[in-house]
Structure 1
Amino acid sequence: MSRSSLALIISLAFLSSTARAAGVADQLKLSDHIESLRFNGDLRLRYETFDRKQPDVNDSQRFRYRLRLGMEAALPRQVTAAVRLGAGTGEQFSNNQTLDNLSSQKSLFVDQAYLRWQPPFLKDGKVWLLGGKAVNQFWRPYSADLIWDDDFNPEGFQQGVEWHAPGEVTLFFNALQMVADYDADRYKNQWLFSEQATAEVELPWKTKVRSGVAYHKWSDEQLSSFNQVGVNVGNRRAGAAPGILANRFGVGEWTTEFGAKVRDVPVSLQATLARNFRALGNVAGPKARDGHQFGVIVGKAAEAKTWEVGAFKKYAQMDVTVADVADSDFGEGGTNRVGGIFWAAYAPTGWSHLRVKYFTTKSIDLNLSPGASGVNRLQLDVQVRF
């Protein structure tokens, strides 16, 4: 075949595929009331090791992936509808899926599904209402994973107000009413009611401070279990797994962050303090109701060819918070642990991310769950966004 004939065939194939694509586009019809439609997703590959210090407990290693696919539709009257699917096993705090079972097919779950309304009520700020299963809208710097796992998407209702006050000050208020569990044979559902108020102040020399307080009150948490899929160790429980919480929970939280730039390198100092003010005094063992986390992040691996390093110290007594919504990566997740967290990350492009992260942990009270269970955990991640 001559070069001219080959070029003609390639050109005709290209024109044919272009025409087919145009025909599909002509046939693709969206509802007239959809103002815009945006798709997004990310895929993360992870290698992970567990170095367990408990006698007669084996170390382990595993390969995992996290896949998330989302769609967001802008509708009239400042309404947004969003849906996101995610890989995993149905756990409330993870979209990770382990490579296992002879490459058997894996599941996708509804990770988010919500409606958001943001009416133009404030000239110098915004007000919004949200219902469904959505990302946690509370302000959560890294230190706040003492209370919240970053992958936890609460189901219920959320509201927020943001107001840009005079003098380089911005005020925020957020509220959450989460349905923790529903039982058909009971009139009372279990709930979590949370409120958070924060303020951010812009300071000279490219610095700013944001600080806030929150209160997280669980309702009827001792009535029954939450029937949750994922269970983190730490809290005192009664009955068969997943178990009924033995304690009450009304968690007060104070979180603050100081941000600056040193020779154009971002630096973030963070701290979170927490206490369970509703902890009972008649539960077996100590009250074990306090926790804190503090540390520093230097750099920010976000744009192309940027980097960051981080170091944090965490201390979480057994009943400082409900373990099953707290960070699931610290040790083997949950509470009753103390230790350090260290990482380094690099973004080769604006859509890719590399990270190595190391946790070194041990139990606080060896007589309570998880016992004498020191765990060092290593994570190697490769992630792309699309």
Structure 2
Amino acid sequence: MHKKALCLVVGVLLAGPAVTAFAQDAAPSTNATINLIHLMVKKGLLTQGEADGLLKQANDEAMQAQKAAVAAPTAVPADGAQPGDVRAVYVPQNVRNEIREQVKQEVIAQAKSEHWAEPNAIPDWLDRISWYGDVHVRDESWLYSRNNANDFIDYAALNRNGPFDINTSTANVYPPLLNSTQNRTNMLRLQAHIGMNVKLGDTITAGVRIGSGGDNNPVSTTQTLGGGLIKKDIWLDQAWIRWQPNKDLSVTAGRMPDPFMVTDLIYSTELNFDGVAGHGELPFSDDLTAFATLGAFPIQYTGGTTGNEAPAEASSNSKYSDNRWMSAAQFGFKWKFADEASWKMALAYYYFDRMRGQLSAPCYLYTGINYCSTDDTAPDYMQWGNTVFLLRDIVPSTSSPTNYAQPQFVGLSYNYHIADLTNKIDFKVGETPIEIQAEYERNLAYHARDAFDRYPDGLGVPVNNYQGSATSGENGPYKSGPVGWLVRGIIGTPQPMALNEWNIALGYKYLQPDAMLDGLTDQNFHLGGTNAKGFILTADYGIAPRTWLSARYYGAKQVYGPPFTIDVVQFEISTKF
């Protein structure tokens, strides 16, 4: 009954417009109450069974009223109204508003008690989570010059699968070689990421992202499709917590996106950093803001001596247990020097501590051990380009002093202390955005002779980065360098996120062999590593909201050494959500 009464009250409030609307659909009854009941059934406010009951009640009451009117003597109304006249009762607006609000509150209360609707059915924590992701599907080709040399040793594979016996007469196998001659065309490749950010309070945010990837390398999440249609791998790509006490200061810890202002000269654009980073900004005016980023990031934990030394030797070699970290500081400014123009500049110093490999103590492998004291100073991950040397000082076998197994790892010949200057200028010509990028970096720890003078008796001498020689089996002069630079111009929207947005970019990159750790560089240009130079041409076009097509060409060759030219061509469709 409560529900019926409630519906009748709502009906009375809506009677004027409702009866008019109903009259347009069907011939009305002469009884307004009956018309109203029919309309409420039509609108779903009453079931047909409830309506039938109300109609019967209305008809019964109408018949009783008629009988009473016949039996009662006709009286002249006090206001002089004649039979057939219609009375209109005026209800003030404030009274109608009060009635409407009371009915509203009763309906809401009943809805909550009977669970018609639950305004708080979604938990509060869901409002604090934001999701995002992207998918990229790519056709990619690697095109090698016919003039490339064919004897480039793959030192990354040697370490990864090693130790490798470099004495071919005992191993009966050649070291792993880089592919430098056989093209790879029309490879279908994929990148995908999905992540969430959670706001845990006014000052705390956490983020987690997973991504695709063919292996656990730090510089790319690209996965080659095919392989018998096997399922693809998923990796933990990011996981971090950020404390931001105000809008100009933040501290982030965990595995985070690159916190520095960079291009793709020394770091891959997909590289994430493990560690802690703080970022602060100091606005001097509406147009000028200074900023600083500081961070500490573990690169590699070394385990110290491995047990093949006497206690006294282990003590003297305790320096090998030093862990390897990158400490970084970047300072810069953002200056809006015109309405549609701005300049960002940043000077950074990336100090990679103790990345250099260490020659082992004399290693008696012929006694049956399978390790040497400095094996763990080999880099955890490398590509190619950096100067390397053989880590193990292997003592000849007493039974075969002139022909014995020499299983080896390689280590880096230099440390890496990188000074880097990055500039980005943005402006518009008409309505078209334009960006100019320029970056210069130098490894301040590089001194060429260090690679030859560290150890006596020819130990620790580099095994790569030699020029080609006219004499078979001989190396030419050693060539390396500490410098890298990049210039690039971008016309159009840098990141197309709407239909018909576009950009075209042309750049040139130059990276000498020991300008930067080769393991952290972009895998697209020269297929990763250092000792590369060449042009980069890209174009993007938006075909739908948050969806765009891309075409990219990376034409790169060696800076020093035998010829090694690689053209990488990519066609890609991408979407972000």
**1:252/1:385 CA distance change after superposition, 3 Å:** same
Stretch deviating more after TM superposition (73-82 or 278-287): 278-287
Q: Is 1:63 aligned to residue 197 of structure 2?
A: no
The yes-or-no answer on 1:179 pairing with 2:298 is: yes
Alignment of 1:87 with 2:240, yes or no, is no
Give the CA deviation at 1:297: 0.2
Superposition deviation, residue 331 in structure 1: 1.3
Is 1:221 matched up with 2:374?
no
Deviation of the 1:372 alpha carbon? 1.6
Deviation at 1:184, TM superposition (A): 4.1
Shift of 1:221: 0.5
Match of 1:110 among 221, 225, 236: 236
CA distance in 2 between partners of 1:214 and 1:200 (Å):
15
CA distance in 2, matches of 1:204, 1:77: 34
Identity %: 22
User: In the TM superposition, what is the alpha-carbon distance from 1:28 to its structure 2 partner?
Assistant: 9.0
Aligned letter for 1:67?
A: A
Task: Write out per-residue CA displacement over residues 204-253 of structure 1, whole angstroms, 9 at most, x where no aligned residue.
Answer: 2511111111111100111413323xx32111123489842111111111
Q: What's the TM-score, normalizing by structure 1?
A: 0.85
Give the direction of change, closer, same or farther, for the CA distance of 1:279–1:262 in structure 2 (3 Å limit). same
1:52-201 to structure 2, matched below 5 A, reads: 52-53=144-145, 54-55=148-149, 57-61=181-185, 62-88=187-213, 89-120=215-246, 126-140=248-262, 144-166=263-285, 168-185=287-304, 187-201=321-335
Deviations 1:180-199 (A, max 9, x none): 01234475211111111111
Q: Which residue of 492, 498, 508 maps to 1:299?
A: 492
Q: Which has the larger radius of gyration?
A: 2
Question: How many Å separate the matches in 2 of 1:385 and 1:358?
Answer: 23
**Change in CA separation of 1:184 and 1:266 when aligned onto 2, cut-off 3 Å:** same
- Structure 1 residues 83 and 338: alpha-carbon distance in aligned structure 2, compared to 1, 3 A threshold: same
SS class of match (1:58): coil
Instruction: Map 1:1-386 to 2 at 5 A.
Output: 36-53=128-145, 54-55=148-149, 57-61=181-185, 62-88=187-213, 89-120=215-246, 126-140=248-262, 144-166=263-285, 168-185=287-304, 187-223=321-357, 224-228=377-381, 231-239=382-390, 243-282=410-449, 283=451, 284=462, 285-300=478-493, 301-366=496-561, 371-386=562-577
Q: Distance in 2 between matches of 1:109 and 1:71?
A: 15
Q: Deviations over 1:317-368 (max 9, x none)?
A: 01111111111111111111110000111112231121000011110101xx
Instruction: Give the conservation status (yes or no) of the 8 Å contact 1:34–1:75.
Output: no
Contact in 1 for aligned 2:379/2:412 (Cα 8 Å): no
Paired AA for residue 202 in structure 1: K
Matched residues in 2 for 1:253 and 1:332: separation?
23
Q: Is the 8 A contact 1:254 1:272 kept in 2?
A: yes
Higher helix share: 2
Deviation at 1:90, TM superposition (A): 1.1
Rounded to whole Å, the distance in 2 between the matches of 1:157 and 1:281 is: 33
Closer/same/farther in 2, CA of residues 59 and 167 from structure 1, 3 Å limit:
same
The residue type equivalent to 1:59 in the other structure is N
- CA displacement at 1:78 relative to structure 2: 0.9
State whether residues 134 and 574 of structure 2, in contact with CA within 8 Å, keep that contact through their aligned partners in structure 1: yes
Query: What CA RMSD, in Å, does the superposition of the two structures yield over aligned residues?
Result: 2.4
Contact 1:35–1:76 (CA under 8 A) maintained in structure 2: no
8 Å CA contact 2:498, 2:547 repeated in 1 = no
Q: Deviations over 1:80-137 (max 9, x none)?
A: 11110111021100111101320111110100011111002xxxx5100011101011
The TM-score normalised by the length of structure 2 is 0.58
Give the match's secondary structure for 1:279: coil
Check conservation: 1:363, 1:373, Cα contact below 8 A. yes
Letter in 2 for 1:289: P
- How big is the shift at 1:302? 3.1
What is the letter of the counterpart of residue 382 of structure 1?
A: I
Structure with greater strand percent: 1
